[in-house]
Amino acid sequence: MSTTFKIQESHIKTIHDICDSFNNDPGELINVLHKCQGEFGYLPEDVQREIASKMKISVAKVYGVVSFYSFFTMTPKGRHAISVCMGTACYVRGAEKVVDEFKSQLSIKVGGVTEDGKFSLDCLRCVGACGLAPVVLIGEKVYGRVEPHQVKDILAEYND
């Protein structure tokens, strides 16, 4: 996906403030990235460049860390981010079929965003609510014991 993100003066200030709050210490890079992702929703290339120049480390190093950890993303999420738990407990209780149903209902792949930017679909590893397997998270809301036929109704709840 091509990012349409254009960095603005106000963004630069936000990034600099975050870096300063961690004393521009390269050892705090992961905390800085957490904060920046919290601020922008994702970590586009321009944001990474700005962090690198502010903290006086190479862009390669920042990108290396961003691409290493699954929590960091360079693509924006949908307004409602759907995460299907693919931990083992959910897997043996049929999470794969639930993912397939989301894929076909939304016509997107795992990791994709719908064209209108409403939903994005991801898999994650174990939210630790194995008693409710299979588990689906949409934003902060947790859906437990989800069966493929319920997917349509769940999506219908989000008619913004």
Partner 1 sequence: MAQYKMHLLVCGGTGCRASQSEEIIKNLNTEIKNLGLENDAQVVTTGCFGFCEKGPIVKIVPDNTFYTQVKPEDCEEIVREHILKGRKVTRLLYEDPETHKHVEDSKHMGFYQKQLRIALRNCGFIDPENIDEYIARDGYAAIAKIFESMTPQQAIDEIKKSGLRGRGGGGFPTGLKWEIASKNSADQKYVVCNADEGDPGAFMDRSILEGDPHSVIEAMAICGYCIGATKGLVYIRAEYPLAIKRLQTAIKQAREYGLLGNDIMDSGFDFDIELKYGAGAFVCGEETSLIHSMEGLRGEPTVKPPFPAEKGYKGKPTNVNNVETFANVPVIYLKGADWYNKIGTEKSKGTKVFALAGKINNVGLIEVPMGITLREVIFEIGGGIKNGKKFKAVQTGGPSGGCLTEKHLDTPIDFDNLIASGSMMGSGGMIVMDEDDCMVSMAKFYLEFTVEESCGKCAPCRIGNKRLHEILEKICAGKGTEDDLEYLENLSKVIKDTSLCGLGQTSPNPVLSTLENFYDEYLSHVKERRCIAGSCKALKLYTIISDKCTGCTACTRACPVGAITGEKRQPHVIDADKCIRCGACYDKCKFTAIHVQ
In angstroms, give the least distance from the CB of 133 to partner 1: 7
Under the criterion CB under 8 A, does residue 47 sit at the interface with partner 1? no
The owner of tokens 């083992």 is 88
Q: Which stretch binds partner 1 (CB under 8 A): 42-50, 74-82, 104-112, 125-133?
A: 125-133
Task: Identify which of 138, 134, 135 has the alpha carbon closest to the alpha carbon of residue 121.
Answer: 138
Q: Which residues pair with 113 in a beta bridge?
A: 120
Determine the interface stretch with partner 1 among 44-52, 67-75, 101-109, 147-155 (rule: CB under 8 A): 67-75
Q: Does 126 bind partner 1 (CB under 8 A)?
A: yes
Pairing type for strands 136-138 and 141-143 reads: antiparallel
Give 79's DSSP letter. S
Measured distance CA(123)–CA(145) in Å, rounded: 16
Is 125 near partner 1 (CB under 8 A)? yes
70 binds partner 1 (CB under 8 A): yes
Nearest to 55 by CA among 34, 85, 28, 78: 28
**Binding segment toward partner 1, per CB under 8 A, in 9-17, 20-28, 43-51, 110-118:** 20-28
- Positions in the binding site for partner 1 (CB under 8 A): 25-31, 33-34, 64-65, 68-72, 86-89, 91-93, 124-133, 135, 142, 144
